[in-house]
Chain A
């Protein structure tokens, strides 16, 4: 097992290096940030001074060398605009994004998986048909459209829920969280629902497909022959065997939610990392964009590793194969 983890970590390091080169070369071509940041009336000498202070006057390979050297210390330079280290800016925003992504994936799992199981066990019940019919709608609607409809109905017409910001927060471990206050919880409902709806549809369809396949297997027939209650057959025998595909998809979708919540965060003015990314892109704040991509890639690579490791725990057969290989 340690050898497996080590080789995967080495692969991850190579991937990160490759991505850093690609992103750096790509982002290097962005228009000159100096022009954006300072007064257009500034003299050539003033522009040069700013470029020098940001290290933009040096050749590209030297900038990349400095960038890599910094990256090893998790230092991706300072934001051109805020003046703070880019990494610090991102990590200040990460809790808000994670809070939203975790809430959304929890809602999606708690609704989607039971719905899929029910549709697999009773395919002809009206709730199964309606659920599966709606799931293709849920998968098709663009997320900003879902957000708009939710805002229109629940915020503008019903006036029941706020549609902007995090609301009141309370600190835990020195980090502000929304889910600890009533007002914060109200603020999280709409963005979390926006992110959760397509994932509910996805998980329901996936669970149904996997459960239908498992339903005819011998251990399921045996469980029925033993006269077990249906709830136990579905809840224990069936669910246990669905764990590996479900955890894979839930994990990957969680990664995607956390990595790309840009649209939902900017619609709901949720002060997370995605909002920071789009603001930085629109303002040509190069170090923040680069640092964001690096953080996201590192996060996704680690998440994949973590998922691979959980398979062994969930399914002993996979553990044996990993050892043999």
Chain B
């Protein structure tokens, strides 16, 4: 098969998947929400009413205003209220969204990369390498991923990069198991025999021939893991071991607002949490539909 034909094939497969995705009204709606959320996160510095990190633009007299209040100088309206420093919650949420999505994307891609490489190596090397990798995977899968990330963050300390590392360590095992399972099937196929006979190097056999054929189940897991990574980051930041105060993600904002919940200032906690819930929910709906499309029996 020439490269152009192969490219055409994958393109039309993606297009077919997109068309079927849009056939479900709920999935199409969720996809639209998701697209808007990503756009809002990307454009946050330009569309946010205020730069929440710029202390000079905050007015302490505007602190703890309920949603819809006008600022003290009448220049802007705080649609979602303000926090105890007079920060516009809408702006804080838009910037928090960036951090949450950033962590989610990096953690998922990292776990996908590490897990797939481990899984493919296990299936290809067989013997004790396989046994060794898979025992680690077994141990990890017995524990909740968030617990592993939590203990690891206790060691590493706070920071966006550290949260990403902890989530990768907590999440790679699912990918490794799935990658190994597909690779075990695929490695004995004729096209792999052909690749071996043509004298291609190990790396080329693995990455150019085996890997593309193992991808569909891995993408399914990636859709689940992405939603879980965002929720996990939020949970860790909520517990105070995640991102630092200077880079508040949605989970961090929710945690900060939680202290004010009992005094009736519900907006500090409700809105960031709601933004997070909307992101995860719409992503899960789209992911669910995608799983139905590539796996009609609906197994996870």
Write out the residue numbers on chain B whose beta carbons fall within 8 Å of the beta carbon of A259.
Answer: 143-144, 147
Which of B62-70, B72-80, B180-188, B230-238 makes up part of the contact surface?
A: B230-238
Interface assignment of B254: CB less than 8 Å from any CB of chain A: yes
CB distance A281 to B144 under 8 Å?
A: no
- What does the 1/0 interface line of A235-264 toward B look like (CB < 8 Å)? 000000000000000000000100110110
- Which residues of A lie under 8 Å from residue B285 when comparing CB positions? 136
A141 within 8 A of B: yes
| B contact patch SS | helix
**With contact pairs A27-B154, A136-B284, A293-B151 given, residues A18 and B139 touching in the complex (Cβ less than 8 Å):** yes
How many A residues touch B, CB cutoff 8 Å? 43
Q: B239 within 8 Å of A by Cβ?
A: yes
> Does residue B266 face the partner (Cβ distance < 8 Å to A)?
yes
Contacting A30 at CB < 8 Å: which of B155, B261, B264, B288? B155
A157 to chain B, nearest CB (A): 9
Find chain B residues with CB under 8 A from A225 CB: none
Chain B residue nearest in CB terms to A23: B151
Total inter-chain residue pairs, C-beta < 8 Å: 111
**Does B276 have its Cβ within 8 Å of any Cβ on chain A?**
yes
State which of B155, B270, B288 has its C-beta within 8 Å of the C-beta of A26. Answer: B155
A158 at the interface (CB under 8 A from B): no
Interchain CB contact under 8 A, B288 and A136: yes
With the chains together, A229 CA to B295 CA distance in Å? Answer: 35
The residue that B277 contacts in the complex, of A142, A266, A297, with Cβ under 8 A, is A142
A177 to B273, CA, bound (A): 32
**A294–B227 alpha-carbon span in the complex (Å):** 28
Kindly state the separation between the CA atoms of A89 and B207 in the bound complex, as whole angstroms.
50
- Can you name the residue of chain A whose Cβ is closest to the Cβ of B283? A140
A289 B231 Cβ-Cβ under 8 A: no
Residue in B135, B154, B227, B273 whose CB lies within 8 Å of A144: B273
The answer, yes or no, to whether B281 is at the interface (CB within 8 Å) is yes
Q: How far is the CB of B269 from chain A (nearest CB, A)?
A: 6
Interface status of B280 (Cβ within 8 A of chain A): yes
Counting CB contacts under 8 A, is B258 at the interface?
A: yes
Which of A51-59, A145-153, A180-188 lies at the interface with chain B? Answer: A145-153
Tell me the complex Cα distance, A14–B143, Å.
16
Q: Is the CB of B144 within 8 A of A142?
A: no
A282's partner among B142, B147, B235, B241 (CB-CB below 8 A) is: B241
Is the CB–CB distance between A282 and B240 below 8 Å?
Answer: yes
**Which residues from chain A sit less than 8 Å from chain B, CB to CB?**
15, 18-19, 23, 26-27, 29-31, 136-137, 139-145, 148-149, 151-152, 156, 209, 256, 259-260, 262-263, 266-267, 277-278, 281-282, 284, 289, 293, 296-297, 300-301, 304
List of 6 A-B pairs having minimum Cβ-Cβ separation, nearest first: A140-B281, A281-B154, A260-B144, A145-B273, A142-B231, A140-B284
